[in-house]
Amino acid sequence: MKKLFLLMASAFVMHVAMAQNEKTVEVGGAPMYPSKNIVENAIHSNDHTTLVAAVKAAGLVETLQGAGPFTVFAPTNEAFNKLPAGTVDNLLKPENKAMLTKVLTYHVLAGKYNAKDIAKLIKAGHGNAVLKTVEGENLMASMEGNKLVITDAKGGKSYVTIADVNQSNGVIHVVDNVLLP
């Protein structure tokens, strides 16, 4: 019993030490650990409670905990609040799961694209880069000064407010608007 306790205690100490040595980025008042997956980190962000609820309602938790890699443009609660009144509540209804899934997967790219990768694509595209989403439609990436801008199919612009939040299965870029297919 004593050996088991010592083994468990040393494992815990190693876990804490590893977590303390990780280069974290704070999002929504919580550190995001590169050793954790997208869902494990997102659930701790106070700025992403609506996104987390939507991911759960759409049944995408298991997918976003998968190996990936994924690039996620993660809208904040404030971004969801910019949508017309009742939109989020309507999307969260079980009968609208397909539409919710479409909207959420429109924020996801297959593969890991950090800000420098996207900037290279923009440069190669002479100012614009077309990004194919998991949903199947495209997003357009561009720069406005030093700001990375993601434009949706409807012409809506979303600015990356926190870039390169590394995860064990990809990267998150926090955005200030919901992207709509």
User: CA-CA distances (angstroms) from residue 165 to 1, 34, 135?
Assistant: 41, 8, 22
Helix (H) or strand (E) holding 52: helix 49-58
Q: Model confidence over 134-179: pLDDT tens digits?
A: 999 999 999 999 999 999 999 999 999 999 999 999 999 999 999 9
Q: What is the pLDDT of residue 3?
A: 54
Model pLDDT, residue 120: 95
**Taking CA 131 as the corner, what is the angle to CA 129 and CA 67, rounded to the nearest 5 degrees?**
135
DSSP letter assigned to residue 168: T
pLDDT per residue as tens digits for the range 15-41: 444 445 678 888 988 999 999 999 999
pTM score of the predicted model: 0.86
Structure tokens at 172: 């998150």
